[in-house]
Amino acid sequence: MPDRPYLSPSVHIFIHEHIDSVYGNYIYNIIRVLKSSAARFEKTNAKFLVSNKPMAATKLFVLFLLLIISVSTALATVSYDHQAIIINGRRRILISGSIHYPRSTPEMWPDLVSKAKDGGLDVIQTYVFWNGHEPSPGKYYFEDRYDLVKFIKIVQQQGLYVHLRIGPYICGEWNFGGFPVWLKYVPGVEFRTDNEPFKANMQRFTEKIVSLIKAEKLFETQGGPIIMSQIENEYGPVQWEIGAPGKSYIYWAAKMAVGLNTGVPWIMCKQEDVPEPMIDTCNGFYCEGFWPKKNYKPKMWTEAWTAWYTEFGGAVPYRPVEDLAYAVARFIQNGGSFINYYMYHGGTNFGRTAGGPFIATSYDYDAPIDEYGLLRQPKWGHLRDLHKAIKMCEPALVSGDPVVTKIGDNQESFVYKSASGACSAAFLANYDPKYRVHIKFGSVYYDLPAWSVSILPDCKTAVFNTAQVSAPTTHPKMTPITGALAWESYKEETASAYGDDTVTMNGLLEQVNFTRDSTDYLWYLTDITIKPGDLQDGRSPFLTIMSAGHTLHVFLNGELAGSSYGTLDDPRVTFKQNVNLNVGINKLSLLSAAVGLPNVGVHFEKRNAGVLGPVTLSGLTSGTWDMSKWKWSYKVGLKGEDLSLHSVTGSSSVEWVEGSSLVQKQPLTWYKVTFNAPPGTDPLALDMGTMGKGQMWVNGQHIGRHYPAYKARGGCDTCNYAGMYSEKKCNYNCGQASQRWYHVPRSWLRSSGNLLVVFEEWGGDPSGISLVSRS
C-alpha cells in the first residue's frame, strides 16, 4: 500500500478499527487530498461515527459523504508521498523550468511562459529578489520587472504551476546573493547564521512576500498556481563550515516558514540535515543517485543545470542536449518525480544586478529559450520530445518503484510494473561513454547509443532515445541594422581631492562601506610631494597598490598610468608599475570599480572591495614610502552619474562635442547618440566589440555593464556529449570577448528619438558600436 498521509492518530485508529483493509486503502487515498481539512474532519465527524456505531456499509457511506463535502469546500490540496508531489489527489511527474522575472521584461513574460508550456513544462520556478523588492529598509518595490504578482498571474493564465523560491538568500549569480546591501549595516548582523538581527529581517521580508501572495490568493490551496515554496538556498555547505550555529539557524528557518501556513509544501535544496517537514532536494549536473533522507518524501531535482553562467574573462559554456536529456532520463528512471531546468530562460542581468564579481551581463545559460526569448534548437525541441515520452509513462512512474536489472556490462533496465506484475513502462540505459550496444530486453533487441537512455512507455516500443536528436538545429545570426551613428562625447574629469563632494580621512577605507553600493565607483585621492633630492637619477619610482578588487584605474596628474583587474576566482588586484613623478605636488587618483558583489559563500557582512592597501612608493633616495596611512580624500561615483548623463534631462545639462572633436580611445568618456527604432519584431542588441569596459543606458533604462576588453582565457576543445559534463568541458569564444552583444529590449524603445548613452572607462571606439537584430 502507498505510504499513508499524515493524519491525527484518532483518525487512523477509526479507519483501522471500523473499516476493513480493502476499503481502508481507498479511504487513505481520498484522505490524502484532504490533509488541510483533517483536523476539522476529526472534530466534527469521527466522534459521531464511533459513538453511533452504524453498520460497516453505512459507516463507509457516511464517511464518503463527509469526504465529498470536504472536497467541495476545499479549493485544492498539495501534499506528497514517497512517489511524487500530489496535487488534488493526483500524483504528478512534474517538469519545471526556471524563468526569473527581473531578468526579462514584463512584455516578454507571456511569450516566454507560452514557449515553456509548448516545451512540455508543468511548472515555472523563480527566485524572489529581496534587494530588488526592498532597496531600502521598509521601502518596497513591486513594479515593472519586479512585479512578482503580475508574473505569477501570467503563469497561471497559461495553466502552469509555480514553484516560488523565497530564499530570501538566492545566490543565482545575482548581486550580493539577493541580499540588500543595507542589511550589512544593521547593528550586530551576521548573515545566514543564528543571529537575531539577521533572522528578524529575514522573517520580516519572508512574511511580507507570503502576505502579498496570500492577499492575491496565489497559493494552490487558495485557487492559485503556487504549489511549492523554498526557504533558504543551498545551505548545506555553509552549515558544514560554521557548525552548530548553522544548525540552529536552519531549524529556525524551517519552523518560521511552516508557521506562515501557506498550505503548500516547503523545500530546502542541497541541505542534507533537513528539518521536518521540509523536503530535501538536489541541485547539480546529475542527480540520479540522490535520495531524500526520509523515504516518505519524493525525489526532487530543483536545479538541473542546463549549462553554466558566463563570467567576464571566461569562455562561454554550453551543454550538449544529448547529455542534458540523458541526465534527466536517468533521474526519472530511478524514481525521480520533479525536475527543474536551471535555467529554462536565463535572460539578462540588467543594470548592476550581476553578482560574482565578474558575472557577465548576459545570463543566457545555454538555456532552451535564449537570452532574447528565441528557441534554442535543437535543445528546446529535443527536451520537448523527452517530456512527451516521460508523460506517456506517468501512470506507471507514480504507481511504484522500478525493478532494476543489469542487462550488460554497463547497461541496466528499469521496469515499472502494474499491480498484476506486468511491465507497464521501461527505461533502458547505456552508461558506457564510448560504445553503442545491441541489447536484448524481453524478446526484442534494442540499439542503445553510447551514454543514452531509451524510453519504452509500453515496455515494447522505444519512443525516445536521449542521444538521437530529431529536432531541427538553428544558428542565430546577429545582423547590423543601423548605419553610422552621429556620436557625441563628454570627458569625465578625474576627481579632485579638494572638491566640495569629497571626504578626507587618514588611511584607506573599504569601498562598499563608503558607497553602500549606490555606484560601481569610488575615487581614492592623495598628493605625492616630491622634493628635488627624492628622485634617483634616471630611475622612476615604483608604485605598488594592493586592492581587494575588482578593477583599478591609476591616474597621475590627470593621465592614466595603467589599469589592473581581478577575476571571478580571485577578485583581488595588484598594481605594480614604474611611474613618472615631477618635483613638486603630484596628484594620485585611483578609480576603484566594483564588478558585482559576491553572491555565494559565508560571512557576507565581511566581504570587501576597494583599495585596502598597502600602497607603497619605492625606488626613492630615502627608501620606500608607505602611503597607506596618509591623508586620503574620497569621492563617491562619477560626475556624470551625479549629473544623470544617462537620462534625457541630465544629458542636456553639459556641453557635448562631436565631429572631428569627438573623443576616441580615451578613458573616462561619456558618449551619446539618438537613433530610431528599426521596424519588425526581432530582438535587438548592441554590438560593443570595439569598446573596453563601462556601462550602457537606453532612454534612461540601464542595459548593464559592458566589458569586451576582457578576453576569454582557456582553450575551447572539441566537445563530445558522452561522458560526465562540467562547466569546463564545453566552451566557445576562447580568445575573444566574453560578451560582445548586449540585449536591448524592444519595449524600452520609442519609434524615434531614442537616447543611447555609454560610459567608457578604458577607452574605445564608439564608431564601431551598432544596433543589431537577432534572428
Distance CA 664, CA 662 (A): 6
Residue 384 to residues 5, 119, 286, 719, 725, Cα–Cα distance (Å)? 33, 5, 19, 23, 21
What is the CB neighbour count within 10 angstroms for residue 430?
A: 29
- In this structure, the number of other CB atoms found within 10 A of the CB of residue 493 comes to 12
d(Cα 438, Cα 427) in Å, to the nearest integer? Answer: 15
Q: How far is CA 524 from CA 172, 493, 516, 573, in A?
A: 31, 14, 16, 15
Q: Three-state SS for 199? A: helix
Annotate 6-28 with three-state secondary structure: CCCHHHHHHHHHHCCHHHHHHHH
Element (H, E) at 627: none
Neighbours of 392 (CB within 10 A): 18
Q: Which among 165, 188, 195, 162 is positioned nearest to 177, based on CA atoms? A: 165
Q: Annotated catalytic residue: which of 42, 216, 234, 510?
A: 234
Give the DSSP per-residue string, 306-364: SS---BTTSPEE---HHHHHHHHHHHHHTTEEEEEEEEEE--B--TT-B-BTTB-SB--
Query: Would you give the distance in Å from CA 475 to the centre of its chain?
Result: 25
Element (H, E) at 392: helix 379-392
Among the listed residues 134, 173, 303, 371, the single catalytic one is: 303
Distances (CA, A) of 667 to 405, 412, 591: 66, 61, 11
Q: What share of the chain is helix, strand, coil (3-state, %, to 5)?
A: 25, 30, 45
Is 493 assigned a catalytic role?
no
CA distances (Å), origin 171, targets 55, 145, 174: 59, 19, 6
To the nearest 10 degrees (0 to 180), the angle between helices 148-157 and 196-215 is: 40
- The values of phi and psi at residue 212, to 5°, are -60, -45
Rounded Cα–Cα distance for residues 439 and 436 (Å)? 10
Among this protein's residues, is 303 annotated catalytic? yes
Q: Can you say how many angstroms the Cα of residue 238 is from the centroid of all Cα atoms in its chain?
A: 18
Q: Which residue has the cell 553602500?
A: 516
CA 673/CA 678 separation, integer angstroms: 15
Take residue 486 and report the three cell numbers written for it.
Answer: 552621429
Q: What is the DSSP letter of 219?
A: B
Cα 562 to the center of its chain, rounded Å: 34
CB under 8 Å, gap of 24 or more: what pairs does 140-148 form?
140/208, 142/212, 144/105, 144/106, 145/101, 145/102, 145/104, 145/105, 145/106, 145/350, 146/101, 146/102, 147/101, 147/106, 148/101, 148/209, 148/212
Cross-strand partners of 560: 555
- The amino acid sitting at 509 is L
Cα-based distances in Å from 638 to 69, 365, 591, 596, 644: 67, 32, 10, 17, 10
- Catalytic site positions: 234, 303
